Amino acid sequence: MDIVKLSLTDVRDKIAAKKLSSVEVTKAIFDRIKETADLNTLITVTEQSALEKAAEVDGKIARGEKIGALAGVPIIVKDNISTSGIRTTCASRFLSNYVPPFDATVIKKLKAADAVIVGKANMDEFAMGSSNENSAFGPVRNAVDPTRVPGGSSGGSASSVAAFQAFGALGSDTGGSIRQPASFCGVVGLKPTYSAVSRFGLVAFASSLDQIGPITRCVRDNAELLNVIAGHDEMDSTSAFVKEDYTDYKTGVKGKTIGIAKEFFDREFSAEVKNAVLAAAKLYEKAGAVLKEISISSFDAALATYYIIACAEASSNLARFDGVKYGLRADADDYIDIYYKSRTAYFGAEVKRRIMIGNYVLSSGYYDAYYLKASKVRTKIKAEFDAALKECDFILGPTSPTTAFKLGGDFTDPSEAYTADIFTVPVNIAGNPAISIPCGADKSGLPIGLQLIGRSFGERELFGAAETLEKELG
């Protein structure tokens, strides 16, 4: 038995039944992390504290004490989620020595569930990027093909799960940062409904779009991980008073209507991706679903709308990193000089680019032309998704227009990279849940991801539909 290749659910059940010990499992995971260290998936490895937690869980089981829902299971956490006593860098030089004095709510919940946190995942700096090459700690490599990017910004989380370095990971999704890496790495990634999971302790990129979610190797494990981290939190004023048993879902799509948005497919993108996604749609039809063509007319405006809103919020959220209150401080003569020199030295190029865009669209001469207009389009996009999901149960489309591209980038213009998020950003604008599941591979063997979009707080239904495809594809 190769321990690291067990599912999250299987390893948890074997630990609870004393067929495996958490210490044994955790040691196997650290061996795997060392074997695959060249993927650069982790910024911080927490071997000592993880083994201590694993021994604690084994002691609880031996004494017959009550254990949590993830007892003894090794989990990786994206490095923009605050962990008390463990460095949290956001993959930025600015926070390279920052150790939070508190845990994010999702970390408290993982600890209460007796999960074993084995490391903090590499990412695009401050979650800004679609390739995981914008990291002060070097790029992450895709576990499927190390010459390729893993996607971003949760590339470290997705590649670590694909590389069997953990049984699940947490990422954050602002415009596709869980789903796109999941697609590139051939794993399952969920962006929950906005407000379903507390954002307290998540270092903010764009507060009205950010959402923490799970990345796993199968749908059932994804539901198990969401079940632990979801629920209302009084520390997050946007947190919803909704908590379900997300593991209580029914597999099957018989009688369900699946919307195929014509705008998703009436555009040029990889033929291999398009064919694989449409073939998966046919499998759904074979399983009893009704396919229906729908229209999201505002789709073409979504990418521009997203980058205006996200960059505007980023310029505000990152204003706190000034070398005075937060972050490393450059040598300077006065406080204005501190701001300038610290930000120049410690922010990466992509972060600077997005802050400048954000300041521009919020400036007095351009606010109405850009930010105000984008806010109005956002309302229209949300309304169109709500209307479409009254006609159908799910919306189906590609997660990404391509499979994983080569490290080093094929883009001469940085803005070209933004198109990698074209199918994912509308969902963040609308606030709906969406899941990326593997649906095939291209001729090079690179994974292709399919995205299912559901109604607000419809995660259980999404899991049921996603697992149906998982079974159809074997």
Q: Which fold has domain 1-474?
A: Amidase signature (AS) enzymes (3.90.1300)
Residue 42 CB contacts under 8 Å (≥ 6 apart), including other chains:
33, 76, 119, 120, 121, 122, 156, 160, 165
Which residues are known catalytic residues? 78, 153, 177
Count of Cβ atoms closer than 10 Å to residue 305 Cβ:
22
* Predicted pLDDT of residue 412: 65
Helix pair 8-16, 219-229: axis angle to 10 deg: 70
Tokens read off for 375 = 């806010």
* Predicted pLDDT of residue 417: 80
Residue 49 CB contacts under 8 Å (≥ 6 apart), including other chains:
85, 86, 117
Count of Cβ atoms closer than 10 Å to residue 414 Cβ:
13
Report which of 250, 190, 231, 269 is spatially closest to residue 454, judged by C-alpha positions.
190
The three-state DSSP-derived secondary structure of 65-88 is: CCCCCCCCCEEEEECCECECCECC
| 245 phi, psi to nearest 5 deg | -90, 95
* Predicted pLDDT of residue 335: 77
Question: Residue for token digits 């779009």?
Answer: 209
Rg for the chain (alpha carbons), in Å? Answer: 21
* Predicted pLDDT of residue 410: 61
* Predicted pLDDT of residue 362: 95
Q: What is the pLDDT along the chain (474 residues), one digit of tens a residue?
A: 799 999 999 999 999 999 999 999 999 999 999 999 999 999 999 999 999 999 999 999 999 999 999 999 999 999 999 999 999 999 999 999 999 999 999 999 999 999 999 999 999 999 999 999 999 999 999 999 999 999 999 999 999 999 999 999 999 999 999 999 999 999 999 999 999 999 999 999 999 999 999 999 999 999 999 999 999 999 999 999 988 999 999 999 999 999 999 999 999 999 999 999 999 999 999 999 999 999 999 999 999 999 999 999 999 999 999 878 777 888 777 778 888 888 889 899 999 999 999 999 999 889 999 999 999 999 999 999 999 999 999 999 999 999 999 998 766 677 778 888 999 999 999 999 999 999 999 999 999 999 999 999 999 999 999 999 999 998
Domains of the chain by residue range: 1-474
Count of Cβ atoms closer than 10 Å to residue 243 Cβ:
11
The torsion angle over the Cα atoms of residues 306, 307, 309 and 315, rounded to 10 degrees, is 150
Cα 50 from Cα 119, distance rounded (Å) = 9
Burial class (CB in 10 A: 0-12, 13-18, 19+), 295: middle
Burial 178-201 (b: 16+ CB within 10 A, else e): bbbbbbbbbbbbbbbbbbbbbbbb
Q: Answer yes or no: are the C-beta atoms of 200 and 103 closer than 8 Å.
A: no
